[in-house]
């Protein structure tokens, strides 16, 4: 490793570039990408957000912008068979054969999203590579910035799909055959937008994986802590529940004779809230669809989703089991039939001490207040942790808002996060090993 280490002068120049021109480039790119998929002013009342569901036209446009920026930095662009995009900065002579350090996140969004979820991590990562190009230094091992496909899992489940496939947690063919909520096949959409690459997923095993992200919760903002040192991600369980009742006339059918799928879904939602209060597990019914969905027809069918999360895998399992055990009672009382489909079961993940400690030390060297914390949201880092030492850096989210247009982090916080990212990258680039 010795022969291609960076010297302190080069590190200082990289830091100075990052804090000045780098930050300006990062802010400009966040703004530009944030315009992609932006709702028209007339689309809906309230604040305007952007929608880039995985592999839709807006996601394609965002991918094109990202690859244009990568090309402008003379990075080698790779696209793998699940559509993950990699921008590769080569190592200095002597470092070519070393395992690359990977920085990443995602640029797909939920519906009507804020500008930062995922985007901040990808573009701050790109800015780190930009810093090397601007200063004219090559790293001691290859440095890769990655945008993973379908992190949000809104259009196609499971979420974190690109990184899951990359880490070998889901066969490629199964992922490509996934049907979306709009009936589309994921593999066909990848082809359509021109991002069905030829590189095999998992083509390199990174030396380590690092992801910078907005917290998306209230803890750092509320307690005025500048940096979250992320120690892991809580467990996630997603289910789709289908209730089959019988349609009938709203004006003529006595209450006692109804098989109301809509009412059964509403009762399930209330049961789940009480279960959340009893167990402490976070439970969300985030989507409900009725058929036929008409004002004067008793719903014949209801399809709803359940999102359960907790840092303790046993508590998620117990909550899920309690819900499943209650459903036969609901069937009997409401005269409906209920089936459940499993969409996601991701166990809690602990990040690598060798990455966590370096993030903490970087924040400390920079003089930033910091706190160790578990992520409430899912992230690509939790999948990459299956194949290499992984870790994350959080910055505050104003009022804890995310997955909505009001998502906001001030420039000083964005800058601090980018500085901690660069500092941790510089440390990891020269490390001989990282404890996992």
Report the first-to-last Cα separation within the chain, whole angstroms.
20
Comparison of 245 and 378: residue with beta carbon closer to ligand GLV: 378
Torsion sign over Cα 184, 186, 190, 196: negative
Torsion sign over Cα 328, 331, 337, 338: negative
Comparison of 139 and 217: residue with beta carbon closer to Mn ion: 217
378 interacts with, out of ligand GLV, Mn ion, none, CB within 5 to 8 A per kind: ligand GLV
Comparison of 300 and 305: residue with beta carbon closer to ligand GLV: 305
- Rounded to the nearest whole angstrom, what is the least distance from the CB of residue 160 to Mn ion in the complex? 9
- Rounded to the nearest whole angstrom, what is the least distance from the CB of residue 10 to ligand GLV in the complex? 36
List 56, 108, 117, 310, residue binding Mn ion (CB under 5 A): 117
CA dist 293 and 305 (Å) reads 17
- Rounded to the nearest whole angstrom, what is the least distance from the CB of residue 377 to ligand GLV in the complex? 4
391 interacts with, out of ligand GLV, Mn ion, none, CB within 5 to 8 A per kind: none
- Give helix 57-72 / helix 23-35 axis angle, nearest 10°: 150
Torsion sign over Cα 134, 410, 160, 303: negative
Token pair for 371: 């706190």
Q: Between 245 and 274, how does the x/- string for binding to ligand GLV read (CB under 6 A)?
A: ------------------------------
Using CB under 5 A as the binding rule, whether residue 118 contacts Mn ion is answered as yes
- Rounded to the nearest whole angstrom, what is the least distance from the CB of residue 213 to Mn ion in the complex? 6
Closest by CA position to 286, among listed 272, 301, 300: 272
Number of residues that bind ligand GLV (CB under 6 A): 4
Comparison of 142 and 217: residue with beta carbon closer to ligand GLV: 217
Instruction: Give the CB-nearest residue to Mn ion.
Output: 118
Comparison of 117 and 360: residue with beta carbon closer to Mn ion: 117
Comparison of 75 and 384: residue with beta carbon closer to ligand GLV: 384
Site for ligand GLV in 363-402 (CB under 6 A): 377-378
Alpha helices in 194-260 (DSSP H): 219-223
Using CB under 6 A as the binding rule, whether residue 159 contacts ligand GLV is answered as yes
Closest by CA position to 157, among listed 142, 170, 138, 146: 170
Helix (H, G, I), strand (E, B) or coil at 30: helix
- Rounded to the nearest whole angstrom, what is the least distance from the CB of residue 121 to ligand GLV in the complex? 12
- Report the DSSP pairing between strands 288-291 and 101-106: unpaired
Span near Mn ion by CB under 5 A; candidates 11-19, 113-121, 196-204, 428-436: 113-121
CA dist 117 and 51 (Å) reads 12
59 interacts with, out of Mn ion, ligand GLV, none, CB within 5 to 8 A per kind: none
Number of residues that bind Mn ion (CB under 5 A): 2
Span near Mn ion by CB under 5 A; candidates 91-99, 111-119, 251-259, 261-269: 111-119
Comparison of 144 and 154: residue with beta carbon closer to ligand GLV: 154
CA dist 145 and 167 (Å) reads 16
22 interacts with, out of ligand GLV, Mn ion, none, CB within 5 to 8 A per kind: none
Alpha helices in 138-283 (DSSP H): 161-166, 172-176, 186-193, 219-223, 261-279
Specify whether the CB–CB gap between 94 and 3 falls below 8 A: yes
CA dist 417 and 420 (Å) reads 5
Q: Which H or E run contains 429?
A: helix 411-430
Closest by CA position to 228, among listed 218, 237, 238, 242: 218
- Give helix 119-135 / helix 23-35 axis angle, nearest 10°: 140
Using CB under 6 A as the binding rule, whether residue 152 contacts ligand GLV is answered as yes
310 interacts with, out of Mn ion, ligand GLV, none, CB within 5 to 8 A per kind: none
Span near Mn ion by CB under 5 A; candidates 118-126, 180-188, 263-271, 290-298: 118-126
Span near Mn ion by CB under 5 A; candidates 115-123, 141-149, 163-171, 342-350: 115-123
159 interacts with, out of Mn ion, ligand GLV, none, CB within 5 to 8 A per kind: ligand GLV
Q: Which H or E run contains 322?
A: helix 313-334
Token pair for 49: 């957000």
Q: Which H or E run contains 330?
A: helix 313-334
- In the complex, the residues that contact Mn ion under the rule CB under 5 A are 117-118
Q: Where along the sequence are the contacts to ligand GLV (CB under 6 A)?
A: 152, 159, 377-378
């Amino acid at each position: 490793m010795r022969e291609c280490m960076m010297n302190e002068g080069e590190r200082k120049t990289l830091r100075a570039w990052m804090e000045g021109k780098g930050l300006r480039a990062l802010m400009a790119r966040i703004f530009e990408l944030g315009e992609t998929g932006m709702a028209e002013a007339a689309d809906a009342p309230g604040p305007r957000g952007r929608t880039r569901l995985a592999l839709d036209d807006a996601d394609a446009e965002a991918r094109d912008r990202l690859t244009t920026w990568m090309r402008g930095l003379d990075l080698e662009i790779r696209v793998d068979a699940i559509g993950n995009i990699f921008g590769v900065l080569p190592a200095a002579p002597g470092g070519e054969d070393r395992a690359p350090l990977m920085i990443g996140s995602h640029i797909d969004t939920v519906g009507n999203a804020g500008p930062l979820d995922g985007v901040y991590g990808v573009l701050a990562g790109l800015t780190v590579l930009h810093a090397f190009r601007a200063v004219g230094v090559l790293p001691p091992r290859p440095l890769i910035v990655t945008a993973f496909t379908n992190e949000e899992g809104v259009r196609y489940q499971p979420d974190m799909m690109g990184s899951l496939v990359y880490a070998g947690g889901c066969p490629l063919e199964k992922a490509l055959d996934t049907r979306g909520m709009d009936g589309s096949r994921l593999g066909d959409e990848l082809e359509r937008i021109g991002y069905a690459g030829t590189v095999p997923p998992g083509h390199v095993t990174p030396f380590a994986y690092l992801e910078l992200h907005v917290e998306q919760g209230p803890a750092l903002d509320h307690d005025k802590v500048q940096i979250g040192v992320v120690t892991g991600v809580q467990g996630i369980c997603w289910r789709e529940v289908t209730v089959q009742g019988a349609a009938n006339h709203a004006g003529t059918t006595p209450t006692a004779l109804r098989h109301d799928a809509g009412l059964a879904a509403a009762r399930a939602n209330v049961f789940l809230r009480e279960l959340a209060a009893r167990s402490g597990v976070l439970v969300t019914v985030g989507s409900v669809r009725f058929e036929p969905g008409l004002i004067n027809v008793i719903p014949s069918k209801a399809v709803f989703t359940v999102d359960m999360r907790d840092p303790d895998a046993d508590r998620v399992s117990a909550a899920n089991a309690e819900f499943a055990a209650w459903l036969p009672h609901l069937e009997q009382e409401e005269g409906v039939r209920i089936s459940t489909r499993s969409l996601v079961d991701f166990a809690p993940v602990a990040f690598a001490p060798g990455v966590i400690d370096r993030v903490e030390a970087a924040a400390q060297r920079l003089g930033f207040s910091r706190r160790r914390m578990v992520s409430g949201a899912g992230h690509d880092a939790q999948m990459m942790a299956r194949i290499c030492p992984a870790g994350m850096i959080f910055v505050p989210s104003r009022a804890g808002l995310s997955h909505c247009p009001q998502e906001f982090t001030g420039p000083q916080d964005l800058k601090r996060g980018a500085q901690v990212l660069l500092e941790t990258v510089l440390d990891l680039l020269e490390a001989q090993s990282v404890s996992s």
